[in-house]
């Protein structure tokens, strides 16, 4: 006798069967019930053990968002926090007056640091006490999204911090050329308004521009290469969001069904294998130097990879994908946020920004140095990041050994701590009228003194500006990204007028747990610039 149609439903996943007999046709009704009861009992036992493990890592600070009592309360609180994370962080910040509090996420308590002195203390602590990589691996489900090797030896991070940053001066012409070509291909300047899906278009332009330095011509313009990198980026964030809803013990069963990790590597390897193998032949023929040796990510990866893996094309391809993920996700989101602000208040900001850019170009031309003198542009982009960014927390660290903060808070090993970016960036102590977008806020702050001028550049981090993190683990690619984003904005300002479909109304952001993104469906209208073009 059949139990009838039934389904096992987990958020975002749904496995349906016509009957129990679809799984085990020879099982009797009573055995079927025993199997179901046993499965439920096992799930309950594992869930209880997971909850008790969480309790062992308990931190004696106030709870925001749940009672933290029985396991059912904890899990209900964790799901509630995912739905209302930003408001919970803002309320906790006000309630505890810079005090530390904790919120439940599915796998653990998340300890939220608000006091600037404690943020600075964590910044200075060694990696064997507060680990950036371990926290990143857990929060982005790294085992299934980017692969364990990415975190076991993150040799790509110094490449981004050093070689990529140093290449800005010599490769700026390539960057600006690719920006111009990308915009001409995707948003041809016309006299009439053209509606453009903002985020998707900026993802393509950022991908092309970044890959001009990552893989070079002609591959950076290859449609399949562009699409696979964007799909990989979207899938990483999608898998991260979905897996964040489940405890650790369920992830190995769910992740293989939703990740594109292996498929993306195979697809990317088909493009990069001939590139890497040709480069290997050049190294074998000429050694470390030869005429016209490419100064790109392919070269840097080969030269910096561990000796055991510097000829492993699949692993080198994975690192290229990981770097593309970081570039596309952060830069396209940040730029789309800023584009929405420009389109919403074009009349207010376009003219002074254009005047600054044109005056500097007229005197100095387009160089990395001339771009650093565009204070209004720098301020506009930084203010957009202050209010938006790519998340509502920053500086996440996993506590690797028991540690007591200077305020007496004991953090047992295994605890995850994070800084409250959402509330810090809206603190009236640091920013006047913090809820209001003030595009030239940081320009005025820079003009007040020489010290303020340096401190309030977009690339600089501090305990009250955490968009790039803070300290030695601050975003290593921020110098490249800031110049890339400024160059894209310069191109738009000098060549286009922009507005929103709903004029003057900026599209609302999308918040999913700890992550914040620009509206994915909104469109921006472009037309050829009409007035005051020099």
| Confidence at residue 331, expressed as pLDDT on a 0 to 100 scale | 98
Tokens of 348: 């207010």
| pLDDT of 38 over the 80 cut | no
**The pLDDT value given to residue 32:** 58
- Can you give the pLDDT at residue 530? 87
Name every residue whose Cβ is closer than 8 Å to that of residue 383 and which is 6 or more positions away in sequence: 341, 437, 438, 439, 440, 441, 442
Span 365-389, mean pLDDT?
Answer: 96
pLDDT score at 18: 39
- Residue 29's Cβ-count burial label (10 Å; 0-12, 13-18, 19+) is exposed
Helix, strand counts (H, E) of the chain: 23, 14
Mean pLDDT of 122-141: 96
At 461-495, the pLDDT tens digits run 999 999 999 999 999 999 999 999 999 999 999 99
Residue by residue, DSSP assigns 99-155 as --EEEEETTEEEEEE--HHHHHHHHHS-TTTEEHHHHHHHHTTHHHHT-HHHHHS-T
Average pLDDT over residues 138-150: 93
Among 24-33, 316-325, 347-356, 488-497, which is the least confidently predicted range? Answer: 24-33
Q: Is the pLDDT of residue 21 over 60?
A: no
Express each pLDDT in 274-285 by its tens digit.
Answer: 999 999 999 999
The arithmetic mean of pLDDT across residues 2-10, rounded, is 37
What's the average model confidence in pLDDT over 333-352?
98
Q: In the structure encoding, which two tokens stand for residue 56, read together? A: 């062992």
What is the reported pLDDT for 431? Answer: 97
User: What is residue 74's predicted lDDT score, i.e. its pLDDT?
Assistant: 80
Higher pLDDT, 74 or 404: 404
Q: What's the rounded mean pLDDT across residues 447-460?
A: 85
Residue 388 has pLDDT above 50, yes or no: yes
For residues 312-323, average pLDDT: 96
pLDDT at residue 4, as a whole number:
40
For residue 42, what pLDDT band results from cuts at 50, 70 and 90? low
> What domains are defined for the chain?
1-56 (no CATH), 146-389+426-465+467-528 (1.10.630.10)
271: confidence class by pLDDT, cuts 50, 70, 90: very high
The b-or-e profile of 489-526 (16+ CB within 10 A means b, else e) is bbbbbebbbbbbeeeeebbebebebbbbbbbeebbbbb
pLDDT exceeding 90 applies to what percent of the chain?
78
User: Predicted confidence band at 428 (pLDDT cuts at 50, 70, 90)?
Assistant: very high
pLDDT value of position 140: 93
Q: Give 38's contacts (C-beta < 8 A, 6+ positions apart).
A: none
The verdict on whether residue 207 carries a ligand-binding annotation is no
Q: What rounded mean pLDDT belongs to the chain?
A: 89
pLDDT at 33: 55
Arithmetic mean of pLDDT, 31-56: 51
Distance, CA of 323 to CA of 22 (rounded, Å): 44
Q: What is the mean pLDDT of residues 316-339?
A: 98
pLDDT, residue 51, reads: 45
Q: Model confidence over 174-186: pLDDT tens digits? A: 999 999 999 999 9
pTM: 0.88
As a whole number of angstroms, the distance between CA 339 and CA 199 comes to 10
What are 498-533's pLDDT values in tens digits? 999 999 899 999 999 999 999 999 999 999 998 654
């Amino acid at each position: 006798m059949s139990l009838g149609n039934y389904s096992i439903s987990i958020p975002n996943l749904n496995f349906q069967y016509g009957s129990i007999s679809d799984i085990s046709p020879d099982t009797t009704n009573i055995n079927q019930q025993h199997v179901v009861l046993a499965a439920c009992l096992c799930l309950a036992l594992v869930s209880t053990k997971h909850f008790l493990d969480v309790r062992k890592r308990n931190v004696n600070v106030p709870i925001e968002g749940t009672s933290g009592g029985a396991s059912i309360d904890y899990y209900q609180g964790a799901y509630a926090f995912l739905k209302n994370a930003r408001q919970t962080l803002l309320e906790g910040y006000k309630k505890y007056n810079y005090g530390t509090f904790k919120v439940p996420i599915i796998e653990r308590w998340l300890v939220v640091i608000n006091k600037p002195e404690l943020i600075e203390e964590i910044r200075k602590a060694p990696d064997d006490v507060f680990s950036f990589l371990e926290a990143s691996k857990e929060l982005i489900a790294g085992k299934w999204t980017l692969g364990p090797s990415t975190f076991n030896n993150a040799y790509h991070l110094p490449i981004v911090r050093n070689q990529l940053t140093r290449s800005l001066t010599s490769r700026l012409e390539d960057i600006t050329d690719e920006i111009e070509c990308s915009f001409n291909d995707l948003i041809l300047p016309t006299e009439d308004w053209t509606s453009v899906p903002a985020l998707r278009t900026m993802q393509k332009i950022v991908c092309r521009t970044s890959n001009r330095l990552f893989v070079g011509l002609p591959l950076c313009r290859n449609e399949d290469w562009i699409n696979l990198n964007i799909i990989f980026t979207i899938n990483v964030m999608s898998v991260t969001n979905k897996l964040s809803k489940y405890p650790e013990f369920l992830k190995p069963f769910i992740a293989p069904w939703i990740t594109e990790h292996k498929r993306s590597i195979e697809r990317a390897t088909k493009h990069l294998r001939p590139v890497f193998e040709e480069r290997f032949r050049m190294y074998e023929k000429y050694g470390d130097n030869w005429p016209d040796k490419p100064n790109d990510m392919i070269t840097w990866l080969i030269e910096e990879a561990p000796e055991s893996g510097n000829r492993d094309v699949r692993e080198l391809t994975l690192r290229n994908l990981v770097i593309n993920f970081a570039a596309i996700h952060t830069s396209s989101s940040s730029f789309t946020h800023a584009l929405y602000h420009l389109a919403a208040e074009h009349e207010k900001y376009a003219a002074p920004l254009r005047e600054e850019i044109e005056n500097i170009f007229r005197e100095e031309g387009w160089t990395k140095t001339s771009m650093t003198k565009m204070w209004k542009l720098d301020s506009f982009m930084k203010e957009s990041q202050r209010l938006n960014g790519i998340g509502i927390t920053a500086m996440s660290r996993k506590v690797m050994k028991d540690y007591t903060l200077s305020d007496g808070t004991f953090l047992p090993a295994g605890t995850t701590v994070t800084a409250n970016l959402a509330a810090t960036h809206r603190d009236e102590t640091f920013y006047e009228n913090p809820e209001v977008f003030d595009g030239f806020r940081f320009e005025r702050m820079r003009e007040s003194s020489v010290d303020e001028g340096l401190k309030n550049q977009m690339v600089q981090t501090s305990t009250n500006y955490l968009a790039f993190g803070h300290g030695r683990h601050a975003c290593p690619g921020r110098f490249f990204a800031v110049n890339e984003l400024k160059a894209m904005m310069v191109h738009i300002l000098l060549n286009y007028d922009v507005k929103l479909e709903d004029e003057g109304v900026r599209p609302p952001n999308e918040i999913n747990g700890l992550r914040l993104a620009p509206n994915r469906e909104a469109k921006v209208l472009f037309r050829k610039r009409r007035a005051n073009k020099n």
